[in-house]
Amino acid sequence: MKAVQHKPVMLDEVLSAFSDVELKVFFDGTVGAGGHAKAILEAHPEIELYIACDKDPAALAIASETLEPFKKKVKFVHSDHVNVQEVLRDLSVNEVDGFFLI
């Protein structure tokens, strides 16, 4: 599958919101094509686990290509972001430093 060229909306604002935050664990509830995820991962090399959640399996497939350089840090989850508690429990994650749910 060829990665989709997509320009994330409000990218500067999203990056600014996390600019002064150390992120070790991050939950992205609507990873989509992975544009925001890629930018956040590039801006925060300290991230150890990036949980990339989406209810659309096609979006997850595209995001997995977009985020290939970060594959050791990213866990893709096929679920709706409203299930965040279950997703975190299933991954044995007790603390999250940042959330993205747009």
> 9-42: buried (b, 16+ CB within 10 Å) or exposed (e) per residue?
eeeeebbeebeeeebebbbbbbbbbbbbbbbbbe
Q: What are phi and psi of 96, to 5 degrees?
A: -125, 135
pTM, whole model, 2 decimals?
0.91
Model confidence pLDDT, tens digit, residues 44-95: 999 999 999 999 999 999 999 999 999 999 999 999 999 999 999 999 999 9
Q: Give the separation between CA 27 and CA 47, rounded to whole angstroms.
A: 11
Q: Give the separation between CA 91 and CA 81, rounded to whole angstroms.
A: 14
Model confidence pLDDT, tens digit, residues 3-30: 456 677 789 999 999 999 999 999 999 9
Q: Give the separation between CA 76 and CA 27, rounded to whole angstroms.
A: 10
Band (pLDDT 50/70/90 cuts) for residue 35 is very high
CATH, domain range 22-100 = 3.40.50.150
